[in-house]
Amino acid sequence: MHPGSRIGAVYLCRAPVDFRKQIDGLAALVEQELAMSPFGDALFVFVNRQHNKVKALYWHRNGFCLWQKRLEKERFAWPESGGGAPIHSLTLQELEWLLEGFDLWANKPHKTLNYQAVS
């Protein structure tokens, strides 16, 4: 991202998007389909159908910035697009892990144990 940019929130668009869309198309998608303002301090992240490319859109002072990453052999882990909210919120740290190849949704907590007695 641009040095000095302030990102307050990160939102993943759950559904894959047509990667022919550029700044105007993605900004319109944020406004119309996600019902959010693309002019805030948020970073909006999109994936293609093959899950090997991501685009990140954000507003910086006086214009939009668009960032893209393409994987040569792997795929990005992504939350399910069916049902629920059309976006998924992440922290900047989680976004960094996602871009490094970690599957944030495969991590499962320890099983809950229910005991009746100590001895």
The parent domain of residue 46 ranges over 9-100
Residue 26 lies in a domain: yes
Q: What is the pLDDT of residue 42?
A: 95
Domain count, the chain: 1
* Burial zone of 51 (CB within 10 Å; 0-12 exposed, 13-18 middle, 19+ buried): middle
Residue 60 lies in a domain: yes
Rounded Cα distance between 38 and 44, Å, is 8
Residue 49 falls inside a structural domain: yes
Does the model's pTM come out above 0.85? no
Each residue's pLDDT, cut to its tens digit, for the chain (119 residues) gives: 666 678 889 999 999 999 999 999 999 999 999 999 999 999 999 999 999 999 999 999 899 999 999 998 889 988 887 667 889 899 999 999 889 888 887 875 556 768 888 87
* Domain presence at residue 92: yes
Residue 85 domain-assigned?
A: yes
Q: Is residue 2 part of a domain?
A: no
List the one residue out of 37, 79, 33, 87 whose CA is nearest residue 58.
Answer: 37
| Token pair listed for 87 | 């976006």
Residue 113 inside a domain? The answer is: no
Whole-number Å distance between alpha carbons of 96 and 103:
11
Residue 89 lies in a domain: yes
The answer for residues whose C-beta is within 8 angstroms of residue 73's C-beta and 6 or more apart is: none
